[in-house]
Structure 1
């Protein structure tokens, strides 16, 4: 058994070098407003979260890398459900650290030209939303948010498995009070 001072020193050392735990923005937190280079249907444009929120709630979802199996599955699922999001007054934006040329192709192939995807090479937006993958900091974690028109988190879901993100975002939007969902 280690003596108390040795145990305390060992605990302090482990605490100092252990990676910090994942921490998504919490419900009610203000999200960082951002403008980013995005692509929709292969066409590049400037996306503004503030402009999107002026029209209603926004689902902001982060994904690790375009053209990987799970990211393509998730993008396809969002594309297939885009009419359901629109019926709830919401829009969708996907964000990764991929370059815009890669995302322009991804916006056609996997997103089916149904919603935009934004490039965050500097990871400023990814960091602002606490979406950095802790085990691979060059990538975004698979994390989805429902952001209300007042710029606050109504719901979030983090899971590397892409299967439940769309369902959970739709359910969260359905649960929003009508005054919060509409603008």
Structure 2
């Protein structure tokens, strides 16, 4: 995992999204962007996190913030995930892992004593000018979406 990125310019990205769309840092300028990186679609923690952000989409919209979930899952899996759980946030596919690398969320993890490479659950708050204002690493899902909304409201 790389440095924090907090206070620096957000790394550029352009990714395919669910529903056949695209999302880019350039396209998000002018509004707050919440990028939440999650390990794998349709797993318990990732599902709960995505549902929490979806439930608060209107509240984020009121403060000019857009929420984008990012994983290495292919777009077709994201489409199924979104439909199955009635999610309403944008889900982006970083299938090649380039964006995960640039944001420093791809690295060695340990689960039950087994080491493997994966995405560290991390959220980035990017201001309307493209600066990283806040980073949450090793996110615990309960209450996280509210904490991010509170951070936007506090700026």
TM-score exceeds 0.5: yes
Residue 24 of structure 1: CA displacement? 4.8
**What SS does structure 2 have at the residue aligned with 1:29?**
coil
| Structure 1 position 23, deviation (Å) | 3.9
Deviation per residue, 1:79-131 (Å, 9 max, x gap)? 00111100111000000011111011112233x24111011111100111111
Q: State the 4+ residue runs in structure 1 displaced beyond 4 angstroms.
A: none
1:117 to 85, 91, 103: 91
In the alignment, the residues of structure 2 paired with residue 175 and residue 155 of structure 1 have an alpha-carbon distance, to the nearest angstrom, of 12
Structure 2 alignment gaps of length 5 or more: 110-115
| Structure 1 unmatched runs, 5+ | 1-21, 177-183
Bigger Cα Rg: 1
Q: What residue number does 1:105 align with?
A: 80
Aligned to 2:112: none
Distance in 2 separating the partners of 1:71 and 1:60: 14
Root mean square deviation, CA, Å = 1.5
Scaled by the length of structure 1, what TM-score is found?
0.76
TM-score scaled by length of structure 2: 0.89
* Larger RCO (CA within 8 A; separation ≥ 6): 2
Q: How many residues align?
A: 149
Choose between structure 1 and 2: higher strand proportion: 2
Contact 1:144 1:156 in 2 (8 A): yes
What pairs with 1:28-177 in structure 2 (closer than 5 Å)? 28-39=7-18, 43-54=19-30, 56-110=31-85, 112-135=86-109, 136-137=116-117, 139-176=118-155
* Structure with more of its chain in helix, by fraction: 1
Residue 150 of structure 1 deviates from its aligned partner by 1.3
Q: Deviations over 1:125-167 (max 9, x none)?
A: 0111111142132x32110011011111111112242113212
